[in-house]
Amino acid sequence: MTLEELNNAPQYMLLNCISGSNSYGLALPTSDVDYKGVFYLPKQQFYSLDYTEQVSNETNDVVYYELQRFIDLLYKNNPNILELLNTPADCVVYKHPIMNAVKPELFLSKLCKDSFAGYAMTQVKRAKGLNKKIVNPVDEKLKTVLDFCYVPNGQGTIALSAWLEKNGYQQSDCGLVSLAHMRDMYALYHRSQFADGVHMRGIISGEKANEVSLTSIPAGVEPLAVMYSNKDGYSKYCKEYHDYWEWVGKRNEVRYQGTLEHGKNYDAKNMMHVFRLLNMAEEIAREQKVNVRRPDREYLLSIRSGQYQYDDLVQQANDKVALITELYAHCDLPDKPDKSAVNELLITLREQLYN
Residues 13-27 pLDDT 10s: 999 999 999 999 999
Do residues 41 and 117 share a domain? no
Distance in Å from the first CA to the final CA of the chain: 20
Do residues 150 and 281 share a domain? no
How many percent of the chain have pLDDT more than 90? 79
Burial class (CB in 10 A: 0-12, 13-18, 19+), 197: exposed
Residue 240 lies in a domain: no
Residue 236 lies in a domain: no
Backbone angles phi, psi at 285, to 5 degrees: -70, -40
Residue 246 lies in a domain: no
Distance CA(327)–CA(315), nearest Å, equals: 19
Do residues 102 and 114 share a domain? no
- Does 200 or 266 have the greater pLDDT score? 200
Residues 6+ apart with CB under 8 A from 331: 110, 285, 286, 288
Residue 242 lies in a domain: no
Do residues 67 and 20 share a domain? yes
Distance CA(224)–CA(244), nearest Å, equals: 38
Do residues 101 and 121 share a domain? no
87 pLDDT tier (thresholds 50, 70, 90): very high
Please report, for residues 30, 125, 140, 263, the alpha-carbon distance to residue 255 in angstroms, rounded to integers and kept in the order given.
11, 18, 21, 13
Strands (E), the chain: 13-19, 34-39, 54-56, 62-66, 92-95, 149-153, 156-159, 174-178, 185-190, 225-229
Q: Could you tell me the CATH number of the domain that includes residue 350? A: 3.30.460
180 pLDDT tier (thresholds 50, 70, 90): very high
Dihedral-angle region of residue 297 (phi above 0 means left; psi in -120 to 50 means alpha; beta otherwise): alpha
Residue 233 has what pLDDT?
A: 96
The string of pLDDT tens digits covering residues 120-179 is 988 887 766 666 667 678 899 999 999 999 999 999 999 999 999 999 999 999 999 999
Do residues 128 and 264 share a domain? yes
The string of pLDDT tens digits covering residues 298-333 is 999 999 888 898 889 989 999 999 999 999 999 999
Which amino acid, 331?
C
Please report, for residues 77, 80, 88, 108, 288, the alpha-carbon distance to residue 334 in angstroms, rounded to integers and kept in the order given.
12, 20, 25, 8, 11
66-80 average pLDDT score = 98
Residue 267 has what pLDDT?
A: 78
Q: Which of 231, 265, 289 is the last residue of a domain?
A: 231
Residues pairing with 280 in the sheet: none
Residue 241 lies in a domain: no
Do residues 23 and 100 share a domain? yes
Q: Which of 172, 196, 231 is the last residue of a domain?
A: 231
Residue 17 has what pLDDT?
A: 98
Give the distance, in angstroms, between the CA of residue 15 and the centroid of all CA atoms in the same chain.
29
Which strands make up the sheet holding 62-66, listed edge to edge?
A: 54-56, 62-66, 34-39, 13-19, 92-95
Domain span at residue 226 reads 145-231
Residue 246 has what pLDDT?
A: 87
Do residues 187 and 267 share a domain? no
Residue 124 has what pLDDT?
A: 80
The string of pLDDT tens digits covering residues 210-250 is 999 999 999 889 999 999 999 999 999 999 999 888 888 87
Q: Which of 231, 266, 289 is the last residue of a domain?
A: 231
Q: Which residues of 258-274 are buried (b: 16+ CB within 10 A; e: fewer)?
A: bbeeeebbbbbbbbbbb
Residue 204 lies in a domain: yes
Residue 14 has what pLDDT?
A: 98
How many percent of the chain have pLDDT more than 70? 94
Full-model pTM: 0.70
Q: Helix, strand, coil shares of the chain as percentages rounded to 5?
A: 50, 15, 35
Do residues 223 and 80 share a domain? no
CA-atom Rg of the chain in angstroms:
30
Distance CA(34)–CA(91), nearest Å, equals: 11
CA dihedral 108, 111, 115, 117 (to 10 degrees): 100
68-83 average pLDDT score = 98
Q: Report how many domains make up the chain.
A: 3
The per-residue pLDDT of the chain, averaged, comes to 92
Q: What angle do CA 290, 112, 63 make, to 5 degrees?
A: 70
Q: What angle do CA 100, 106, 112 make, to 5 degrees?
A: 120
6 pLDDT tier (thresholds 50, 70, 90): very high
Do residues 113 and 102 share a domain? no
Residue 195 has what pLDDT?
A: 82
Do residues 118 and 95 share a domain? no
Residue 320 lies in a domain: yes
Do residues 151 and 218 share a domain? yes
Give the distance, in angstroms, between the CA of residue 333 and the centroid of all CA atoms in the same chain.
30
Residue 261 lies in a domain: yes
